[in-house]
Structure 1
Amino acid sequence: MAIRGTYNTRQRQAILDYLDVHTDRYASVDCVFEALRSQGVEIGRSTIYRTLETLAGEGMASKVVAPRGEVALYRLVNRDEENAGQLVCVECGRVSTIGCAAFQEFSHHVSTEHGFAIDLSRTVLYGRCPLCAKGKVAAHA
């Protein structure tokens, strides 16, 4: 996958490739940095940060604040998830979507009753996935 409207260097392609393989989780700049360096990719944290910010600005990546608020996290946007919220596990980091009717109804209620239009593609709920809630983190980590 190439970045639209930007010069696609090997470093930028390496970042995209990393995100493409890890679509089920958000990643921090440091996480991407460590993974790429371990693969022998010569890249700096600032390059990763600028690339991730560019991707987020173009709508190709989603950016959220980590559950404890310490860092920004990024993942590629799946176009099939545009009208769905995201559930992020605070234990294992796994991401799943929530596009059920109840969520859509909640969004409609907020819009009609409170005049606030929720951007479902940017709605993130933090909690524990079923496996982590049962203490079975190692089973799917």
Structure 2
Amino acid sequence: MSEASLAELLRSRGLRLTPQRQLVLQAVLDLGHATPEQVHHAVREVAAGVNITTIYRTLELLEKLGLVKHTHLSHGSPTFHAAGEHQHAHLVCRECGRIDEVEPELLRPVADRLAAERGFQADIGHVALFGVCGECGNAEHGNGEQE
């Protein structure tokens, strides 16, 4: 999103474009998937005076504006990414912390079954699956050789 379009969106909501808002959005775009702490670290490299409270408030605002989305990829802080990205489910490696993305349609059979059996409408674009990535799994099992 350009600075001009961000400013216009904020003005339409009675808000103004501040350097902090611009820096937080840019950090999320640059980092891809980032916790508020990671965003804070990136922003502080440019503007040392920005505190973590400002980061949280700005991320909350940017989410209300539809510019970023969050998901919970661990027991800690939520992870934010740009809302303009296509929907995706997350694969989170418990060993190395790597985050991969998969098309949510891969989970469609599970969502359909939940709907049919329980009437539950799963948001398959807002899912995190935890496990061990192929690289860590191969390392753990002697590069894929079975013991």
Indicate the TM-score class for this superposition, using the shorter chain for normalisation: 0.7 to 0.9
Normalised by the size of structure 2, how large is the TM-score? Answer: 0.72
- Does residue 129 of structure 1 match 2:133? yes
- Does residue 105 of structure 1 match 2:114? no
The CA deviation at 1:100 is: 6.2
Change (3 A) 1:66 1:100: closer
Change (3 A) 1:54 1:33: same
Extract unaligned runs of 5+ from structure 1.
137-141
Distance 2:100 2:48 in 1: 29
Normalised by the size of structure 1, how large is the TM-score? Answer: 0.74
Q: What percent of counterpart residues are identical?
A: 26
- Does residue 49 of structure 1 match 2:56? yes
Quote the residue 1:139 is aligned against. none
The CA deviation at 1:73 is: 2.5
Q: Is the 8 A contact 1:15 1:32 kept in 2?
A: yes
Higher relative contact order (CA 8 A, sep 6+): 1
What SS does the corresponding residue of 2:125 show, helix, strand or coil?
A: helix
The CA deviation at 1:115 is: 0.4
- Does residue 64 of structure 1 match 2:74? no
Q: Highest CA radius of gyration, 1 or 2?
A: 2
- What amino acid does structure 2 have at the position aligned with 1:28? T
Runs of 4+ off more than 6 Å: none
Q: Which moved more, 1:98-107 or 1:49-58?
A: 98-107
Quote the residue 2:143 is aligned against. none
CA deviations on 1:67-106 (whole Å, 9 max, x unpaired) are 2x2323222234422xx32222334443322226541111
The CA deviation at 1:36 is: 1.8
Distance 1:79 1:70 in 2: 23
The root-mean-square deviation of aligned C-alpha atoms, in Å, is 2.6
Change (3 A) 1:55 1:128: farther
Extract unaligned runs of 5+ from structure 2.
141-147
The CA deviation at 1:50 is: 0.5
